[in-house]
Amino acid sequence: MAAVNDFVLELTTVLGSSALGGFIANRLRQPVLLGYLISGLIIGPFGFGLVQEIENIKSLAEIGVAFLLFTLGVEFSLTELKRVKDIAINGSLLQIGLTTVVVALVSFWLGWVDQITEAVFLGAILSLSSTAVVLKTLTERGETNTVYGQVMLAILIVQDLALGLMLAVLPALNEPSNLVTALLTAILKAVIFFTAAFVAGYWIIPPVIKTIAETENSELFLLAVLALCLGVALITASLGLSIEMGAFVAGLTISEIDYADQALAKILPLRDTFASLFFASIGMLIDPQILWQNLGVILELVILIMFGKAMIVFPIIWGFGYSFRTSVLASLGLNQIGEFSFVLALVAFESGLMSRESYLLLLGTTAITLVLTPVSIKFSPRLVEKLLNLPWLSQYLRSRQQEKIITLPDTISNHVVVAGYGRVGQIIVKILRDRAIPVVVIDNSEAAIQRLRQEKIPYLFGDGDSDLVLEKAHLETATALAIALPDPASTRILLKHALAFAPQIAIVARCHTNSEIDVLTQMGAKEVIQPEFEAALAMGAEILQTLGTSRNTIDSAIDEIRTDRYLSIRPELTLTSLAQEIRKTASATHNQWLTISVNSPLIGMTLASANIRQLTGVTVMSIQRNGETIYYPQADTRLEMSDRILVVGKRKEVALFQDLLQGNLSISNIKWILLNETSLWVGKTVLQLQQQEQIKLEALRRQGKLIRLVKPETILEAEDYLLISEKRDRTNSLQTQFD
Please name the helix (run of DSSP H) or strand (run of DSSP E) that holds residue 722, with its range, or none: strand 720-725
135-183 pLDDT, tens per residue? 878 887 778 777 888 889 889 888 877 876 776 677 666 666 666 776 6
Is 393 within the bounds of a domain?
A: no
Q: pLDDT over 70 for what percent of the chain?
A: 87
Q: Are residues 620 and 681 in the same domain?
A: no
CA–CA distance from 273 to each of 21, 62, 281, 601 (Å)? 14, 12, 13, 56
d(CA 475, CA 495): 12
Is 50 within the bounds of a domain?
A: no
CA–CA distance from 474 to each of 452, 465, 713 (Å)? 19, 14, 26
Instruction: Kindly report the CATH number assigned to the domain that includes residue 608.
Output: 3.30.70.1450
Q: Are residues 177 and 225 in the same domain?
A: yes
d(CA 654, CA 271): 44
* DSSP assignments along 596-622, one per residue: --TT-TTTT-BHHHHTHHHHH--EEEE
CA–CA distance from 241 to each of 155, 163, 174, 183, 248 (Å)? 18, 7, 20, 12, 12
Query: Of 260, 87, 253, which Cα lies nearest the Cα of 157?
Result: 87
Q: Are residues 445 and 352 in the same domain?
A: no
**pLDDT tier for residue 523 given thresholds of 50, 70 and 90:** confident
Q: Give the pTM.
A: 0.68
Q: Are residues 143 and 257 in the same domain?
A: yes
Q: Are residues 312 and 412 in the same domain?
A: no
Q: Are residues 353 and 437 in the same domain?
A: no
Q: Are residues 602 and 691 in the same domain?
A: no
With a CB cutoff of 8 Å and minimum separation 6, the contacts of 243 are 62, 65, 66, 233, 234, 236, 237
Length of the chain: 739
CA 282 to chain centre: 24
Pairing status of strand 619-625 against strand 527-529: unpaired
Q: What is the predicted pLDDT for the residue at 315?
A: 93
Other beta carbons within 10 angstroms of residue 555's beta carbon come to 11
Give the total number of structural domains in the chain.
4
Beta carbons of 73 and 255 less than 8 angstroms apart: yes
Comparing 33-47, 375-389, 554-568, 696-710, the range with the smallest average pLDDT is 696-710
Residue 667: burial class (beta carbons within 10 Å; 0-12, 13-18, 19+): middle
Of 640, 664, 688, which residue is a domain's last? 664
Is 282 within the bounds of a domain?
A: no
Is 279 within the bounds of a domain?
A: no
Q: Is the pLDDT of residue 384 over 50?
A: yes
Amino acid in position 572: E
Of 649, 664, 679, which residue is a domain's last? 664
Q: Are residues 130 and 203 in the same domain?
A: yes
Q: Are residues 91 and 177 in the same domain?
A: yes
Is 379 within the bounds of a domain?
A: no
Q: Which domain holds residue 724?
A: 666-739
Beta carbons of 162 and 96 less than 8 angstroms apart: yes
Is 656 within the bounds of a domain?
A: yes
Q: Are residues 453 and 334 in the same domain?
A: no
Is 557 within the bounds of a domain?
A: no
d(CA 454, CA 659): 52
Is 550 within the bounds of a domain?
A: no
Angle between helices 575-586 and 514-522 (to 10 degrees): 60
Query: Of 491, 484, 487, 511, which Cα lies nearest the Cα of 146?
Result: 487
Q: Are residues 708 and 627 in the same domain?
A: no
317-345 pLDDT, tens per residue? 988 878 888 899 999 999 998 877 877 78
Instruction: Kindly report the CATH number assigned to the domain that includes residue 504.
Output: 3.40.50.720
Q: Are residues 642 and 715 in the same domain?
A: no
